[in-house]
Chain A
Amino acid sequence: MTPNEKQRIRELASTVMDGTCGEDQRRELNQILRGNDAARDEYLAALDLHAVLMTDLSVGSSTDTAPVPPVTPKSHSREPSSHRWVRVGAIAALAAGLLLFVSLIGNAPSESPSFVTIAQLNNAVWQSDRFDVGNRFGATTMRLESGLVRLEYDSGVELTLEGPAELTLISAEQAELSGGLLTATVPPGAEGFSVDTPTAKVVDLGTSFGIDLREDGFSNVAVFDGEVEVAIPDSEEKRLLTEGESVRIGRDSAIEDVGFDPEPFGRLWPIASGIVASTENIQFVPPWPKQIRFIESDDYIFTAPEGHSIRLATPLKLTIAEPGEYSQNDDLSPGEVPEGSYVRSFIFHYSPVEQTGPRRAARILGSVTFDRPVLGLITRHEDLVESRRFSRRGAGEANPRRELRFTGGPDGDRVLLSEDRKTLTLDLVSPGRSSDLMRVIVEGTSRRRPPKKRRRDSFETLNENNG
């Protein structure tokens, strides 16, 4: 840029600042600014000088020889002058007025394109840009080399992906899976969420389902819960699938029934449920049709989530509401989760194999860590029956022999909830023909909860505070 060009940009910038810019000058300015970065930089520097002088009173320091009375302090401190307070007051009034204004008109459509948060990672290796827990973003493509990732949409939709996989997030309602293994849970209110695969379009009707693209040229769709519509692109063909059904769609666009096989999705389930870690003797029973109450094993505690996060319409009674170690009935800490709270329930089930004749008491020790606080445990028979609202198929609450017994003796059960409420340790004993059943109530996700973390963006090059 020649000195003359520089000078011309400064002149034109000045006409813009003073509002004396005519149509010819306007056209010339736009022409120059379209030209190159150097021209734009010069213009922006000129405008910023004007902006700093106009807004930053601390620049306007005056010396003793100034012919006009100083209106700003000599120091470069950021203390507002009395002059500024007038405007600060105006903004305070404006902001106070917003409260009423906003509560009247409600929420405007989002100006921010972000709609998804990375909720959890498990040994994730990225092929694309890496994502970290808490990152917020909108439309993007993620390529996962290996490991697991859980995504939480603002709408409540949750996706869990196992690498190698490629997933493109198109909008808050639509994603495209090009390869890999995916499970989706779609809460009430977010129905219509769809996942496109190379051979099918899977539309969720309020449910959870899995898509397996690992077999080349085929999309395998399994419905764990609720209903799903599978459509063939560019054709009229559609199928409504309900829980326990699986289909396979090949390149020939034929929808073929296959045996329901949730097995491949088993690894995704703990992370899909927000479980961070657990001992090996805690077995996850994914939320697909399986009657957990009939499962028997001496060596495993089985656990399953009971549906989506729900908002309590009435208070929920807890047998244990506080962190601590519990082995005696007298020490329990009963409590209540107030109505209106969002909670999620997990059923825990320990049922040793039934034997004829007398047998030794089976005993198991395991622990599980959630990614969110445990609000409390429901272990008493009456409380279990009362909390049946979580169970869609019945967890066997009706049997009074399934409650936990805190006798303090060698045949008694023992539970420990850590101080941070996230880790639960179970020491369960099942003498005779009894078995153990409990509900673990964890904090739920409210649909419109503000995001926890936001993806860092390039605007951070701006100074936050400049001083």
Chain B
Amino acid sequence: MHSQPLEHDEFLRLLLKSEREVQRYIMALIPNAADAQEVFQETAVALWKQIEKYDPAQPFTPWACRFAANKAKEHLRKTGRWTGFLDEDVASMLVARREHIAPDLDRRVEPLRACVDELPTKTRGLIQKYYFEQMPIEEIARQVGRSATALYKSLQRTRSALMSCVDDKLSTPEVAP
């Protein structure tokens, strides 16, 4: 029985604390933000149903990520405009690999912040609108007077530039001031 309000509050607290990390994890398989949000919600339901199996002495996020991996794979199996783009074996390989390289991915976050700051003004504006304001691409296109196709192309180049920028920063360690 899950009727104690304390248990519920505690779950909520843990869920809120790990929300960002779990969403980030889901997006390794489901990059569409809206779909990832849906998978996150399904994950939250699954977590709550199994909360009695959770050991508070252990970190919550890795536990939640295990549920998220299942929910994400389930989501990929469903047919739809967007889903099903990864074959099941590939999805499994990616989950296994994601786990393995998690520390490497974490090391990329800090340099990424610097790289975003270093972007040319115009490009940074696009990243700002697309990612931070989560504006639909059509809306950005209308605002800046460019076609959606051109903006997709631009986004693709910017992401690649950010990848290279992070790679560079990691291969040339910063000299202490």
CA distance A111 to B100 in the complex (A): 21
Contacts A45-B108, A450-B53 given; indicate if A7 touches B129 (C-beta within 8 A): no
B147 at the interface (CB under 8 A from A): no
Q: Assess whether B174 is interfacial by the CB under 8 Å rule.
A: no
Enumerate chain B residues within 8 angstroms of A464, measured Cβ to Cβ. 18, 21, 59-62
A464 and B14 CA atoms in complex are apart in Å by: 11
Among B118-175, those with CB < 8 Å from A are: 121-122, 124-125, 127-129, 131-134, 137, 152, 155-156, 159-160, 162-163, 166
Q: Hey, which chain A residues are within 8 Å of B21, CB to CB? A: 462-466
Q: Which residues of chain A in 9-56 are interfacial with respect to chain B, using CB atoms and an 8 Å cutoff?
A: 10-11, 13-21, 26, 29-30, 33-34, 37, 40-41, 43-56
Residues of A within 8 A of B101 (CB): 41, 44-45
A107 contacts chain B at the CB level, 8 A cutoff: yes
Tell whether A26 pairs with B19 under 8 Å between CB atoms, given A60-B131, A450-B53, A453-B57.
no
Counting chain B CB atoms within 10 Å of each CB, the highest count among A16, A49, A110 belongs to A49
Chain B residue nearest to A43 in the complex (CB): B94
Which A residues are in CB contact (< 8 Å) with B89?
Answer: 34
Chain B residues in 8 Å Cβ range of A41: 97, 101, 104
The residue that B70 contacts in the complex, of A26, A111, A456, A466, with Cβ under 8 A, is: A111
Complex interface: chain A residues within 8 A of B77 (CB): none
Q: With A33-B93, A33-B94, A50-B159 in contact, do A61 and B113 touch (Cβ < 8 Å)?
A: yes
Chain A residues closer than 8 Å to B20, beta-carbon distance: 55-56, 466
- Given known A26-B85, A92-B16, contact A459–B94 (CB-CB < 8 A): no
Write the nearest CB–CB distance from A193 to chain B, whole angstroms.
Answer: 20
Interchain CA distance A50-B67 in the complex, whole Å: 21
**What 0/1 pattern do residues 33 to 67 of B give for CB contact below 8 A with A?**
10010000100111011101111011111110111
* A108-B24 contact, Cβ under 8 Å, with A40-B97, A45-B105, A76-B113: no
Mark each residue of chain B from 84 to 104: 1 if its CB lies under 8 Å from any CB of chain A, else 0.
011101100110011111111
Residue in B closest to A26 when the chains form the complex, CB atoms: B85
Check B132 against A60 for contact (C-beta < 8 Å): yes
Smallest beta-carbon distance A101→chain B, Å: 7
- Complex interface: chain B residues within 8 A of A29 (CB): 85-86
Query: Does B131 contact A47, Cβ atoms closer than 8 Å?
Result: no
Within 8 A of A (CB), among B68-88: 70, 81-82, 85-87
Give the interface segment out of A63-71, A163-171, A223-231, A328-336: A63-71
> Which of A11, A49, A58 is the one whose CB lies under 8 Å from B166?
A49
A88 to B27, CA, bound (A): 18
Q: Which residues of chain B have C-beta atoms less than 8 A from A10's C-beta? A: 156, 159-160, 163
The distance from the CB of A132 to the nearest CB of chain B, in whole angstroms, is 13
- Would A454 and B58 count as touching, CB distance under 8 A? yes
A13 to B159 Cα, complex, angstroms:
10
Q: Are A454 and B55 in contact (CB under 8 A)?
A: yes
Known: A10-B163, A33-B90, A99-B8. A59 touches B109 (CB 8 A): yes
A10 to B99 alpha-carbon distance, docked (Å): 20
Q: How far is the CA of A110 from the CA of B67 in the complex (A)?
A: 11
Interface centre among B46, B128, B132, B156 (most CB of A within 10 A): B132
B29's closest neighbor in chain A, by CB? A47
Q: Is the CB of A456 within 8 A of B58?
A: yes
The docked-state distance in angstroms from the alpha carbon of A71 to that of B132 is: 7
Measured between beta carbons, the chain A residues less than 8 angstroms from B18 are 464
Residue from A7, A95, A102, A460 with most neighbouring chain B CB atoms (10 Å): A95
Quote the shortest CB–CB distance from A38 to chain B (angstroms).
10
Contact string, A107-118, partner B, CB cutoff 8 A, digits 1/0? Answer: 110111010000
A57 at the interface (CB under 8 A from B): yes
Contacts A49-B166, A461-B99, A462-B61; is A112 near B66 (CB within 8 Å)? Answer: yes
Bound-state CA distance A56–B60 (Å) is 19
14 new A-B contacts, CB < 8 A, other than A34-B90, A102-B45, are A11-B156, A21-B85, A46-B163, A62-B128, A65-B121, A95-B48, A98-B45, A111-B70, A112-B50, A454-B57, A463-B106, A464-B18, A465-B17, A465-B61
Question: 17 A–B contact pairs at CB < 8 A?
Answer: A13-B31, A14-B152, A14-B155, A14-B156, A20-B152, A21-B85, A33-B90, A46-B163, A49-B162, A49-B166, A54-B27, A58-B113, A59-B109, A112-B53, A453-B57, A463-B61, A465-B61
Is A359 in the interface zone, CB < 8 Å from B? no
Which single residue of chain A is at the shortest CB-CB distance from B31?
A17
CB <8 Å contact, A103 and B90: no
Contacts of A452 in B (CB 8 A): 55
Per CB-CB distance, the 7 closest pairs between chain A and chain B, nearest first, are A459-B62, A51-B27, A454-B55, A14-B156, A60-B132, A53-B131, A464-B59
Q: How far apart are the CA atoms of A457 and B129 in the complex, in Å?
A: 38
- Residues from chain A with Cβ under 8 Å of B166 in the complex: 45, 49
CA separation between A72 and B124, bound complex, in Å? Answer: 14
* A458 in the interface (beta carbon within 8 A): yes
- Expressed in whole angstroms, the Cα–Cα distance for A197 and B44 within the complex equals 42
- Determine the chain A residues whose CB is within 8 A of the CB of B93 once the complex forms: 33-34, 40
Q: How far is the CA of A152 from the CA of B46 in the complex (A)?
A: 25
CB–CB A50/B27 < 8 A: yes
How long is the Cα–Cα vector from A464 to B106 in the complex, in angstroms? 11
Whether A19 pairs with B32 at a CB distance below 8 angstroms is: yes
Contact A46 B159 (CB under 8 A): yes
| Contacting pair B99 A72 (CB below 8 A) | no
